[in-house]
Amino acid sequence: MKLNTNFADIAESYLFSDIAHKVNAYTAAHPEKKVLRLGIGDVTLPLAPAVISALHAAVDEMSRKETFRGYGPEQGYDFLRDSINGYYKSRGVELDSDEIFISDGAKSDLGNILDLFSADNTVLVPDPVYPVYVDTNTMAGRKIIYMNATAENSFLPMPDYSVDADVIYLCSPNNPTGAAYSVSQLQEWVDYANAKGAVILYDAAYECFITDDSLARSIYQTKGAKTCAIEFCSFSKTAGFTGTRCGYTVVPKAIAAQGMNVNKMWLRRQTTKFNGVPYIVQRAAAAVFTEEGQRQIKANIAVYQQNARIIADCMDELGIWYTGGKNSPYIWLRCPKGMTSWKFFDYLLENAGVVGTPGAGFGKNGEGFFRLTAFGSREVTEEAVARIKKLLSE
């Protein structure tokens, strides 16, 4: 056999495994100490009651011969695709339901979509960003070029026409920086992609955290996005589905190249390699779009937004520079006392028992920065903030 030796080019373990390793070593050495985790971006609030009722009802359906379901459509049931379509419509975006594909989460689709693009595409990725974009393209041996996201450009790199890229990743609100593009900034990206014949892979996993109306919640709020942009979204952060697993990807029918249609290719890919998301999970996801579901998930999101406020207030008090936290569940702060990201990680873990995420894990421009998440429980967030305040004001 011949192995895919591109795997030798990716970092041996995933960022969060490295963190887990260090935290495990710390807890083994200090079993009496309570570790507070504001590192990995996992949610802590339970599923909304409307979602739980829908799950129960769907489980009951599976128990009866007349309502039992076997294989479903690979691209998702119409009831969920139509609900998502209605959600877009309520924000002024017109789609056809067959442009919406249901998945088991944004991460899978972000990786799987690469089946559609040949290995000789040049990929443009912001630095820092969610590591999955770089790792999945490295596995396929694609050439990656980086665009710098720094404090100078408010962590929102804009197109440079002297750069030729075929596949462009944008993540807004960004993980890890929390920076989010305005509709007019995204318009510049869409114009650039259309001019270059490129595709934008737009990761909107955190769209529900946007509160500022000038910021984009979907790339389809711009003109011309339907000929160049694929949008990835997820119920993970919107509705606490990190363990339940459901997401959706919008692949417009107007994206085409070399006589091939990208929507048709994705349908072909999914029907070949994927057998759909469980019926009960899709029923649960559809409940998110009911009036009751929307009210309940918004209440949960408000809890996380308040956590973000608590962390941001602490940074203000300590005079630590940060961004994010307002239209995003992440606070992106400059490590105090000139520490590197991993040095600050160790310092915080050793002296305060608080776990965050070192910025360097998201790209070279993340060095010297640190990410704290608002997804912890209120108690953990408050206690972590109190410990950080005590440590850093010593």
**Contact positions toward ligand PLP, by CB under 6 A?**
41, 105-107, 130, 171, 175, 203, 205, 234, 236, 242, 247
Shortest Å distance, C-beta 26 to ligand PLP: 23
CA distances from 105 to 110, 113, 232, 235, 264 (A): 9, 13, 9, 7, 20
Cis peptide bond upstream of 173, omega within 30: yes
- In whole angstroms, give the CA distance from residue 285 to residue 54: 9
200 in Cβ contact with 219 (< 8 Å): yes
Shortest Å distance, C-beta 66 to ligand PLP: 33
Shortest Å distance, C-beta 234 to ligand PLP: 3
3-state secondary structure of 369: strand
- In whole angstroms, give the CA distance from residue 268 to residue 244: 25
Shortest Å distance, C-beta 105 to ligand PLP: 3
- In whole angstroms, give the CA distance from residue 262 to residue 276: 19
Q: Which is nearer to ligand PLP, 205 or 285 (CB)?
A: 205
- Supply 79's token pair: 């009831």
- Supply 262's token pair: 């990208």
Q: Which is nearer to ligand PLP, 207 or 392 (CB)?
A: 207
Q: Which is nearer to ligand PLP, 100 or 352 (CB)?
A: 100
Shortest Å distance, C-beta 204 to ligand PLP: 9
Q: Which is nearer to ligand PLP, 220 or 336 (CB)?
A: 220
Q: Which is nearer to ligand PLP, 206 or 220 (CB)?
A: 206
- Of 88, 103, 84, nearest to 287 by C-alpha is 84
Q: What is the DSSP letter of 335?
A: P
Q: Which is nearer to ligand PLP, 43 or 388 (CB)?
A: 43
Q: Which is nearer to ligand PLP, 81 or 353 (CB)?
A: 81
Place of tokens 């290719």: 265
Shortest Å distance, C-beta 109 to ligand PLP: 8
3-state secondary structure of 99: helix
Shortest Å distance, C-beta 79 to ligand PLP: 20
- In whole angstroms, give the CA distance from residue 366 to residue 120: 28
- In whole angstroms, give the CA distance from residue 195 to residue 88: 26
CA distances from 101 to 82, 97, 98, 226, 259 (A): 11, 8, 7, 15, 22
Q: Which is nearer to ligand PLP, 172 or 381 (CB)?
A: 172
Length of the chain: 394
Query: Which residue of the chain is nearest ligand PLP when measured via CB?
Result: 105
Please, which residues bridge with residue 184 across strands?
none
Shortest Å distance, C-beta 219 to ligand PLP: 14
Give the other-Cβ count within 10 Å of 64's Cβ.
8
Shortest Å distance, C-beta 394 to ligand PLP: 33
Q: Which is nearer to ligand PLP, 178 or 353 (CB)?
A: 178
